[in-house]
Structure 1
């Protein structure tokens, strides 16, 4: 209570204040006009920010932000309509572009292709021939599974060769040299086939 009484004492009494109605009304009008001008300038700046191209990328505009920026109901309705039209236009453009892409994929270009095909026919044939040769080489290099009888014959031939080598005089005198010669004889024919 002490603070309130102290503040009341600081204020001027009504008796000392001279009331001049013309001056008060004029001051109030001036203040109101300045405030209105400031509000109009602020609203114009805010609307200019909304009308920028990348504004919707930078921020999301909702009804709450519109209410705080614009004071008139008509302006709010205009802004809502503009934002709705922008969203609809963006959706419409994306659908239109997708439709155009699909149509471009469907269209066949046939103008002077016959001449170009005839020119490239030799290149295509040489490419196909290279592919056939590469495929044939792959088939030749691939090891095929031998039948049981062929495997038996091959193992019997290997055993016979081993017996001949082990009984020879050359093997008993210098076995490593004989094995080296034998391997060279087996490897040379296989390398000649590849070249």
Structure 2
């Protein structure tokens, strides 16, 4: 038995053919496309002209030399590398020496900062002892403080001390009469009559002893 053949179907429908004057229609289509191209070109030119008028950089000449500006390596780099000394025409030994010096400066800076932190922490933990000569020079001396205190006490005493007024005439007469009576009693003492100087000296000694006993 033979194979059954299936008719092949077309996937796309055939194009629609225009009837009539095909040549005239083609010419009209070409003219329309030419007109559309001209209109688009005019619009593009008008847009370009408007952009040119509003461009702030119009007439400014910027060359590539102005844009190519490079900073030195020391300004742009924080780490010393092989490119740091590029263009300096240095020998290999000089480059190594400079690199070593820069590295030692960084190490010294780190060590000093570490030492300062340790010293500060130690000062905060320990009491103030040792050499206080600087503080003693800044503070006033003991003699100056005592002098200032004594001067202030004298000024207070002067302010508090009031001058005594004169006694009344009656009081003066009574005091004079009592003094005369005491003097007469002293004259009647036999020791005073025998040796007045020794008696007066003994009286003064007794007065001094009484004053000392009262003070103590």
Q: TM-score range by the shorter chain?
A: under 0.3
Q: What is the TM-score normalised by the length of structure 1?
A: 0.25
- Higher Rg: 2
Q: Which of the pair is proportionally richer in helix?
A: 1
Q: What is the TM-score normalised by the length of structure 2?
A: 0.23
